[in-house]
Amino acid sequence: MIISIANTKGGVGKTTLAVQIAIARALAGRDVWLIDGDRQGTAAAAIAARAEAQKLPGIACAQYADGAQLRAQVQQQAHKWEDIIIDVGGRDSTALRASLILADTLLVPFAPRSYDVWALDDMANLVDEARSVRDGLRSLAVMNQADPGANSSDNADAEAALADLPQFTYLPTPIRRRKAFSNAGGAGLSVVESLPRDQKAIAEINILVDSIFNVE
């Protein structure tokens, strides 16, 4: 499956989730290729840290910030991989648009902050545009950095705003703001691998990975 993790907004957790999902799939025995589609190269840096620490399984990672190059490489190499995870930079970039043409599934992380929720209109337009030139783009939105409080009104407001955007299937299982995610991500580790183990973080990632990949 080819997954594009995209949002024109930066800082919403695209790279964090891309790294978590890529490692989760590799730990499940899949052949995974992680593509860093952002000039800033944060995902590639995290995976380089993982390789330097000799952590197994190793994750194959390439960086193509240029959309045409990204598309050509993925089209040429796709048959070699079971899962391709594309982490796209926060802007309406050529890499983002290329990823929307290639992907089976788009995952849009967003934070429960009003300006982040407004920015989802841009992504909704891009989904419409992609669907006008291709069939079968599945589009999922997941709240990330959700307020840890169980009854947060910010979380509820963001969820309600999503209901107005039919372009997205909202995954009703948010990823909450947890130190385990920021600590593990920078080191190129899954929350499953990093110590001390945060069982809630692990459960959240497992549910996310399940919602993406275990479809009929």
Ligand X SMILES: Nc1ncnc2c1ncn2[C@@H]1O[C@H](COP(=O)(O)OP(=O)(O)O)[C@@H](O)[C@H]1O
Residues of the shown chain interacting with ligand X in the complex, contacts defined by CB under 6 A: 10-16, 42, 90, 144-145, 175, 177-178, 181-182, 185
Q: What distance in Å separates the CA atoms of residue 113 and residue 154, rounded to the nearest whole number?
A: 7
Rounded to a whole number of angstroms, the CA Rg of the chain reads 16
16 binds, among Mg ion, ligand X, none (CB under 5 to 8 A by kind): ligand X
- Using the minimum distance from each CB to ligand X, give the nearer residue, 83 or 204: 204
Contact of residue 93 among ligand X, Mg ion, none (CB under 5-8 Å per partner type)? none
145 binds, among ligand X, Mg ion, none (CB under 5 to 8 A by kind): ligand X
Least distance (Å) between residue 110 CB and ligand X = 9
- Closest to ligand X by CB, 42 or 99: 42
Closest CA to 74 of 49, 52, 102: 102
Q: Cβ–Cβ contacts within 10 Å for residue 164, how many? A: 10
190 vs 188: CA distance, rounded Å: 7
**Which residues in this chain contact Mg ion in the complex, by CB under 5 A?**
14-15, 42
Supply the minimum distance, in Å, between the C-beta of residue 14 and ligand X. 3
The residue type of 69 is Q
CA neighbor of 106 nearest in space, from 93, 87, 92, 89:
87
